[in-house]
Structure 1
Amino acid sequence: MSAERTWADARLLWDHHLMHHTPGPCSVAIGLGSHDLGVADTAVELHRRGMAPLLVFTGATSPTTRERMPRGEAVHHRERALGLGVPDSAVLVEPRARNTGENIRFSRELLEEAGVDVSPVLLVSKPYEERRANATARKLWPGVEFVSASSPMTFEEYVASIRDERLVIDMLVGALQRLMIYPAQGFMVADPVPGEVTAAYERLCRAGFTSRLVTDGHGAVGQ
């Protein structure tokens, strides 16, 4: 597949993963843990703009963050926010979650225990995780309105920031696969994928962008 076709397909996936929400005033912003401190930066910017008086950072460690964030993703994101001027009283930490479902469940429990009146909620994630996080939250926390946000970056800007084109496309492909297979497993609500996006995903899979795909436990890739 040509480089032009690869990038065109990757842009289709990138655009689909974005929810294209316009943030408005919410009760709380939940920053989903990851390697990307841009999540904390975006949450802080939304806080400064009056979009969320309270920030929650959620996440333990993973194989990809253990060395970079030894104290846990949520703790490092909190430290970033405090360093950017957010008062300690405006930040809560949920340090146990190891996947998106736990990010939502444990954050919900934390806010309920704190007596926070929740609605609506800003979900702050990596750009290509917006739709997946939103669909997961709607499954696990019904009755709450969720507004998605991430660093305002184009696909090209994100590739430049990561400095690894193949890794970024692999992550886009993996996130799209989860949107297609996780609803049947009860992890998120169904969120239909347009045919042109599915076709782009299939071309990228055939081109070998498969390192982030989920397998069925026997080595076969679910598509």
Structure 2
Amino acid sequence: MISEQSWADARVLWDYHQMQHELRPCSVAIGLGSHDLSVADTAADLYKRGMAPLIVFTGATSATTRERMPRGEAVHYRERALELGVPGSAVLIEPEARNTGENIRFSRALLEESGAEVGSVLLITKPYEERRAYATARKLWPEVEIVSASAPMEFDDYIRSIGDARLVFDMLVGAVQRLQLYPAQGFMIFQSVPGEVAAAYARLSSAGFTRRLASNDA
């Protein structure tokens, strides 16, 4: 049973992780691989709305996705986008990346190889990965403008869509930890962590939501 305090703390982290960027048309959309197919759904929707003429899906597999997406995250994302009506000519896949930094670096290299001119990137992630992905992209690809996007869902609706509250709580905690650790390691730009977010993170960590901390990466 998850306590009321933990639910309240998780909502604090959920709100913090979202960048609240205003959507606008960009040179390309990049969908970062994960267990969550809503990234592909969002990419397809934004493509149809004219927000990007090209989509890159990036991601291999991880401990979380090995069974759900045996052919690789990028491949499954592409299949989902095609099912939703996106033409195959508008989708590139990058199937090797195993972390957020590789998602950005490998996608950038793929776009350069394809001859795409990129001045802005619509960076599509899970809702609770927006800030981490943004900070990583700004560090590794500072020349382009980054517009963050994710499925427009409320916290409770998102939990229901995933069907595993503990997984989401663990991910929320892990993303905050990386925002604090990774700037010093050169992996992302610094992001201020407000006191209420730091306190919620500490309580959730103490409550045992630690499976996705960096030291536990598979």
| TM band (smaller chain) | over 0.9
Q: What's the C-alpha RMSD, in Å, of the aligned pairs?
A: 1.6
Residue 159 of structure 2 is matched in structure 1 by 159
The one-letter amino acid of 1:5's match is Q
Q: Give percent identity, aligned residues only.
A: 73
Deviations 1:76-124 (A, max 9, x none): 1011111111111111111111111000000000101111110110000
**Structure 2: which 5+ runs fail to align?**
none
Q: CA deviation at 1:40?
A: 0.4
Residue 131 of structure 1 is matched in structure 2 by 131
Residue 203 of structure 1 is matched in structure 2 by 203
Q: How does 1:169-184 map to 2 (within 5 A)?
A: 169-184=169-184
Structure 1 outlier segments of 4+, above 6 Å: none
The one-letter amino acid of 1:22's match is E
Deviations 1:33-70 (A, max 9, x none): 11111100000000011001100000111122122212
Residue 142 of structure 1 is matched in structure 2 by 142
Deviations 1:132-175 (A, max 9, x none): 00000001011110001001111111111122222211111111
**Structure 1: which 5+ runs fail to align?**
218-223
Residue 54 of structure 1 is matched in structure 2 by 54
| Greater shift in the superposed pair: 130-139 or 59-68 | 59-68
| Greater shift in the superposed pair: 110-119 or 206-215 | 206-215
Distance 1:20 1:205, change over 3 A: same
Q: CA deviation at 1:4?
A: 2.3
Q: Does 1:73 align with 2:73?
A: yes
The one-letter amino acid of 1:20's match is Q
SS at match of 2:215: coil
2-structure distance, mates of 1:203, 1:51: 39
Aligned length: 217
Residue 221 of structure 1 is matched in structure 2 by none
2-structure distance, mates of 1:146, 1:114: 20
Q: CA deviation at 1:216?
A: 9.1
2-structure distance, mates of 1:13, 1:49: 29
Distance 1:216 1:10, change over 3 A: closer
Distance 1:110 1:38, change over 3 A: same
